[in-house]
Copies of this chain bind each other. A is one copy, B any other.
Amino acid sequence: MEVLDVRFPTSRELDGSDAMNPDPDYSAAYVVLHTDGGPDGYGLAFTIGRGNDVQAAAIGALREHLVGRAVPEDAAALAELSATLVGDSQLRWLGPEKGVAHMAIGAVVNAAWDLAARRADRPLWRFLAEMSPEQVAGLVDFRYLTDALTEQDALDILRAAEPGRAERTARMLAEGYRAYTTSPGWLGYADAKLVRLAKQAVADGFDMIKLKVGGDLDDDVRRMKLARETVGKGVRIAVDANQRWDVGTAIEWMRALAPYEPYWIEEPTSPDDVLGHRVIAEALGEIRVATGEHVQNRVIFKQLLQAKAISVLQLDACRVGGINENVAILLLAAKFGVPVCPHAGGVGLCEMVRHLSMFDFVAVSGTDADRTIEWVDHLHEHFTDPAVVRDGRYLAPTAPGFSARMHDATLRRFRYPDGPEWTEEAR
């Protein structure tokens, strides 16, 4: 097992800037599971700079559960690995099931899935979608979920989606999955750049864009008005406050933006505040409330759904305990009938989440209605199996694995602090 601290100097261009995160250096705590003679497995935790070394150390703390063990190749073995990592009681104390320690489990679990899918010669979404309902339900840790989702509920959902799997797989391969773009909307961009990129987004076939908000109300009203004038009525505009607001502020601010018809408000407040999101959702009525990229685990998602606090669930590939927990989250969303629109961007998130949405379409919810995957067009060149969006749709990945592998040249150049990208800056 090899763990690398890889950082990209994105703060130099203000790509990724928002009201909470003014100067992120998009980074990855990157893990490779080496095997004898077969392919290796690749995973990562996404961070935004400082602390990526702490995240890497947390991944390293899982070493004893992996090194020297047999490769988990099937659903049962992957479920057992996930349970072993989540169940390490001494490490569990550091969460439990949240933050640095839990994201470390996510990176390792995802790397193990990548490895298993590579050995099976399947892209992850197809590897998952070809499992039986019993195998998929067996991936899930139902602890803390059974008041909302039992194993029987999961089996019912998965069996209901069994007919039509082949047809939906074919549709994904032919048509891909709807995307929306955040590229026009970073808070650090000037108005002219916003307008230019919003026009470009429409020309590129997107039917939804997203703007960052939450810095200054007057600025947001001006930017939202500009964006609406630019894209017209037929294109959805989501807004994203990145947790800047208290409950009351969120309601007032969104009422000021309401004339320009925002489609959803993302992260209006703390991702921990289930009851706060419910109050906001009730107050805002038609404007959807979305969150998820910072939702720490399935227990918070369960409550957001139970409380009808969100109407869009933004699953993240790297925030929770990996694919096993994300399968639980997809099943919860299906149980409550809430569409999953994954968070992406960052480092490798677009590459990974497309697999989860496509698996959801084929084998869990069975629908793509009101669903779309975030698309941010940077850093893809560093991945060996980069996400590709054409005419506003993610193409289905066909290469084996979960697509988190970076090029060796990238790892050499952006290693922190000793890669030339960083040592040359220092000179």
Interface residues of A (CB under 8 A from B): 20-25, 47-51, 53-55, 57-58, 61, 88-103, 142-147, 243, 246-248, 269-276, 279, 294, 296-297, 299-300, 302-303, 306-307
Contacts and interface: CB of A to CB of B under 8 A. Distances in A.
A418 B64 CA distance: 19
A94 B100 contact: yes
A51 B96 CA distance: 12
Given A20-B89, A54-B58, 15 more contacts: A47-B90, A47-B94, A55-B94, A57-B57, A58-B100, A96-B243, A99-B101, A99-B102, A100-B100, A144-B273, A272-B296, A272-B303, A274-B274, A274-B275, A274-B303
21 contacts: A20-B92, A22-B89, A24-B93, A48-B90, A50-B61, A50-B88, A51-B101, A57-B57, A96-B294, A98-B296, A99-B100, A99-B296, A100-B101, A144-B246, A144-B270, A144-B272, A146-B247, A272-B299, A272-B300, A272-B303, A273-B303
A96 to B, nearest CB: 6
Nearest to A249: B146
Contacts of A299: 270, 272-273
A98 B300 CA distance: 13
Contacts of A93: 21, 24, 47-49, 51
Contacts of A302: 273
A403 B279 CA distance: 41
A interface: dominant SS: loop
Pick the most buried of A92, A103, A270, A276: most chain B CB atoms within 10 A of its CB: A270
A57 B60 CA distance: 12
A21 to B, nearest CB: 5
Contacts of A142: 246
A102 B296 CA distance: 14
Given A50-B61, A50-B88, A94-B47, A144 B269 contact: yes
Contacts of A296: 98-99, 272
A412 to B, nearest CB: 23
Nearest to A146: B246
Contact of A90 (B25, B146, B274, B279): B25
A306 B272 CA distance: 14
B90 A49 contact: yes
A378 to B, nearest CB: 17
A54 B300 CA distance: 25
B275 A54 contact: no
A54 B309 CA distance: 34
Contacts of A98: 98-99, 272, 296
A276 B147 contact: yes
Nearest to A58: B54
A96 B274 contact: no
Contacts of A55: 94
A297 B90 CA distance: 21
Contacts of A96: 243, 270-271, 294
A99 B307 CA distance: 24
A101 to B, nearest CB: 6
A271 to B, nearest CB: 7
A133 B88 CA distance: 44
B90 A276 contact: no
Given A147-B279, A272-B300, A303-B275, A99 B95 contact: yes
Contacts of A103: 94
A64 to B, nearest CB: 8
A99 B271 CA distance: 14
B94 A51 contact: yes
A54 B61 contact: yes
Contact of A275 (B57, B243, B276, B307): B307
A359 B274 CA distance: 30
Contact of A147 (B22, B100, B102, B246): B246
A88 B50 CA distance: 9
Contact of A276 (B51, B144, B271, B273): B144
